[in-house]
Structure 1
Amino acid sequence: MTVPINTNLAQLFMRAFYWAEEGLQNTLKERGWAQITKAQSQVFISIGEGVTRPSEIAARMSVTRQAIHQTINELVEFGYVSLEPDPSDRRAKIVTYTEKGHEIGQNTVLGLSEIEAQLIARIGVDNVQALREALCQNWGEPYVPVEMQA
């Protein structure tokens, strides 16, 4: 398949993200887990990558602290995460997985493995490896137009 050079990469990234996200939701549903929102999923990913302060998660997701607290509180109600005092700053809290959160996390890892296997079956191992290598490159800092650099 030849893709026109002017195809918008950002749209392709989003399409791929939504494809993987929907596949993940399907695998979790098949395993008996309630559907979580994309925002809740992003909180899970952040925690898994070691970003545990709500303010840092909000900044990472480009949402307000109020919005992230609402999302975290929903996950607390589901029993997936808890808010604990931050040992390095008593004024702050950190988000941690509960036992139930670890269980859904393990199911997520299994689901993502299934999704990757399905992608390999559909587009081939060489294309998946090339995609992985391209995405793992150091892209540097986000682009800033010259006019904004002054």
Structure 2
Amino acid sequence: MQDELFARLAEEGHPGLRPQHGAVLGYLDPEGSRATDLAQRSGQHKQVVGKVVDELEALGYVERRPDPHDRRAKLVVPTARGLDQMVRSDAVVEELERRHAETVGHDTYAEFRRVLREVTELQRGWREQG
């Protein structure tokens, strides 16, 4: 799915994005997120998220702004280009999921998603313990 998502995004005006950028863009709130929150949500190390944010900032997808609730912290905030990518990405993922659900059956796909979420949560718990 990831390969198709990024190929489609490239066709729709976002050719510089790569799958690793999803560690930020896939978890970024439209009003902005702290890098530590992005790391936690994505399961990536803070250093990886920092590198990805640097790349996305250079590509014009995000900018860093002071956090209005904590002057010491920074928020990663999507730019207009970043917001456009987020909307397009959501639409592509929705279309892909609909296609897969129609292919294997809606109940089967719903069960697949439930099990995948459960396994992901188990893995996150293991990572936090380790």
The number of equivalent residue pairs is: 125
Shift of 1:111: 0.5
Say yes or no: does 1:42 pair with 2:23: yes
Give aligned-pair identity as a percent: 24
Structure 2: how far apart are the matches of 1:50 and 1:135? 28
TM-score (norm 1): 0.68
Distance 2:111 2:15 in 1: 34
Task: State the TM-score, normalizing by the size of structure 2.
Answer: 0.77
- Give the counterpart of 1:63 among 45, 60, 71: 45
Aligned counterpart, 1:142: 125
Moved over 6 A (4+): none
- Give the 3 Å change call, closer, same or farther, for CA 114–104 of structure 1 in structure 2: same
Alignment correspondent of 1:98: 79
| Alignment match, 1:25 | 6
Q: Which has the larger radius of gyration?
A: 1
Q: Runs of 5+ in structure 2 lacking a partner?
A: none
Distance, in Å, in 2 between the alignment partners of 1:39 and 1:90 is: 29
Instruction: Specify the alignment match of 2:60 in structure 1.
Output: 79
* Distance in 2 of aligned mates of 1:50 and 1:123: 36
Runs (5+) with no aligned partner, structure 1? 1-19
User: Quick one: distance in 1 between partners of 2:6 and 2:54?
Assistant: 20
